[in-house]
Structure 1
Amino acid sequence: MRKPALYSPSHRAGHSQADVHVSGPQAAGPEAESPPAPAGRVRRFRQACARAASSPRVMWSAMALLAALLAASAWQSAVGGPKALTQKQIDAAVLRTLTTQNLPSRAARAAEKIRPAVVRVMSYGKNSEGKEVEQGVGTGVVITDKGIILTNLHVVQTALSVKVVYADGSESPATVTGAQPQNDLAVLQAQIIPDDLISATMRSTNDLVPGEEVVAVGFPFGIGPSVSAGVISGFDRAFKSPEGVQEIGNLIQFDAAANPGNSGGPLVTMDGEVIGIVTGILNPTSHRTFVGIGFAVPIESAASAAGLPPF
């Protein structure tokens, strides 16, 4: 839950001296009432607090600094040392910490959340000499911590063996345990499962609309994991690859860059939740490079291929 922003104290306009009641030693002298903070400083403080609320890392840093300042102030008061820190000094220190932190973008945060669940999928066949060789690289996404992985069927369809490489660099043989040819989907079961394997979070596409920001993570041309960002361009699209014989319908169209090797990778929201499996790109030429139109199978169809209940 987003934490409410904290604002620096300031005097409300429209009050006369008679409206302010003070007692004790602070009532006397010119320092009894501190002047209002400059408008620019208050505005920067509010903006910084709003930014911090969206970044737990920065919020915890600011809280740690504030706790240290308060502890130092209390200690100074207890030992009769220098004058305790004022609220104005504390606000300035917190503001300085918040405004000097480099906050990651929404796309970066989404990629960071999904990356542990993204795997490289490597398919192997035999050459003319009968030796096992790598014949293709694609992407997959872990959907349960039991090692169940979704990818595209065309990534593994002709493979004699399949291997997956996890985000931590460890590897595992995998077997194809299910397929949904009408949606170009395959389900893999990894044979070696890391103890700390993290699975992706999936969400329904029912409330999404064109223009929603999305991120695609995968291994284009074997390079990666690579991240690209864009928006959903439309829904209920149909696509047939140049070498394919079957048209796939009910697809999500998006414009985040995708290329050969992205196939089978996740399409995620800015919350890092999977809404689709990247399956193809539209290109009127034979170069197989991205021209701005990519397609993904909605996660509702992809999850059903793995036997998961519908959203």
Structure 2
Amino acid sequence: MRRPAFYSRSPRTLPLAAEQAAEQADAPASPDAVGHGAQAAPSSRAGWQPARRSFALLIVLCAALVTGAALWAPRPGSKALTQKDIDAAVLRTLQTNTLPSPAAKAADIIRPSVVRVVSYGTEKNTPEARLQKRGRNLAKGKAPDADSPPGEVERGVGTGVVIVDKGVILTNLHVVAGADKIKVTFFDGLEAIATVTGVQPENDLAVLQAQKVPDDLIPATMRSTADLRPGDQVAAVGFPFGIGPSVSAGVVSGLNRSFRSPEGKQELGNLIQFDAAANPGNSGGPLINMDGEVLGIVTAILNPTQQRTFIGIAFAIPIENAASAAGSPPF
């Protein structure tokens, strides 16, 4: 059953064990109990009561403490563990086991929702189009200025993020504007034709609908930027110059920024400024937090030269604006 776009409203989720205990505490004891006036608890997690959840979590924590005490209790004839012994064991574990970075864990979460977006049509003769062409050729081991084969011309490469599992995708309008055909490639390698179903030119946003999708397509979780602060860790996932999916990490540099396109044709406002590396091809991709939740859609980089490459300043459209382009409800 298809479900609507999912919004995260909590910075943390309950541990799996706590969720299972809460579900058991929330369920009716038996059919007889229901028949004698007790009402069955709702099966939806939205129906949980805070008191029940707290009680269930308390039970789990108490059980964990009891189990821990039993495990660490000294046995007859054995040496009692000291805090120094515990600290040494923890340090030894940290030294011998490499833990994944927060950005790596976040990228693993969002990667199944990221798609490669390619537009086809008459190739443009703009600086950005020429730069993208050189990047694509180099990625394929060709000469930088090698011509495309006759026929279908790959005009632009960008990124998109799935927000509804029936194949609704957010990307940048400039990635697909004027394309004769749009093709998206999903995480599992499935390629599909996509059509534009909505645009929001003032925010450089487009909504795509893929004509076919993987059976197990996972939509991204979107996160409000209301509590976002400069210095918060973020990561950008996309296909710079068509290579990817690639991940770059950094921090939020500023909020409520403005950006004017190099041609001066458009000015975007209320942008998230960040310093995770972004280049042509990252456009339309997700900017995520360390929980793998989408904070915004990468849309532009600032470079005072004509090179159109990253020098440390990039911008993303807040997800509140991006989701409204797809008709999703606000947070």
TM-score with structure 2 length normalisation? Answer: 0.69
* Residue equivalent to 1:111: 107
Equivalent position to 1:9, from 53, 68, 72: 72
Rg larger in structure: 1
- Paired residue secondary structure (2:241): helix
State the match for 1:42 in structure 2. Answer: 86
Deviations 1:133-169 (A, max 9, x none): 1101000000000100000000000211100000111
The reply on whether 1:205 has 2:202 as its aligned counterpart is no
1:191 aligns with 2:211: yes
The gaps in structure 1 that reach 5 residues or longer are 12-30, 49-94
What's the counterpart of residue 188 of structure 2?
168
Q: Deviations over 1:259-290 (max 9, x none)?
A: 01000000000000001000000001111111
- Whether contact under 8 Å (2:288, 2:296) holds in the other structure is yes
- Alpha-carbon distance in 2 for matches of 1:134, 1:178: 22
**Which of residues 267, 279, 284 is equivalent to 1:264?**
284
Distance 1:206 1:256 in 2: 20
Q: Which residue of 2 aligns with 1:69?
A: none
How many angstroms apart in 2 are the aligned matches of 1:216 and 1:269? 9
Which position in structure 1 is the counterpart of 2:258? 238
Amino acid in structure 2 at the alignment position of 1:34: S
What is the match of residue 216 of structure 1? 236
Q: Which residues of 2 match residues 1-311 of structure 1 at below 5 A?
A: 1-2=14-15, 9=72, 32-37=76-81, 39-45=83-89, 47=90, 100-126=96-122, 131-311=151-331
Q: Who is 1:51 aligned against?
A: none
d(CA) in 2 for partners of 1:213, 1:32: 49
Paired residue secondary structure (2:166): coil
Distance in 1 (CA, whole Å) between partners of 2:76 and 2:168 is: 67
The code of the aligned residue for 1:151 comes to T
Distance 2:73 2:163 in 1: 50
How far did residue 219 of structure 1 move? 0.5
Report the RMSD for the aligned CA atoms in angstroms.
2.4
**Once the 2 structures are TM-superposed, how far is the Cα of residue 232 of structure 1 from its aligned partner?**
0.6
The aligned amino acid for 1:104 is: P
| 2: CA distance, partners of 1:41 / 1:144 | 50
- 2:8 aligns with none
2: CA distance, partners of 1:191 / 1:140: 15
Structure 2: how far apart are the matches of 1:203 and 1:298?
10
* CA apart distance, 1:203: 0.9
- CA distance in 1 between partners of 2:85 and 2:263 (Å): 61
Cα distance in structure 1, aligned partners of 2:196 and 2:188: 22
In the superposition, the TM-score normalised over structure 1's length comes to 0.73
What amino acid maps onto 1:43 in structure 2? D
Counterparts of 1:144 and 1:41 in 2: how far apart (Å)?
A: 50
Higher relative contact order (CA 8 A, sep 6+): 2
- 1:82 maps to none
Distance 1:32 1:264 in 2: 64
Identity of aligned residues (%): 65
Q: 3-state SS of the aligned residue for 1:234?
A: strand
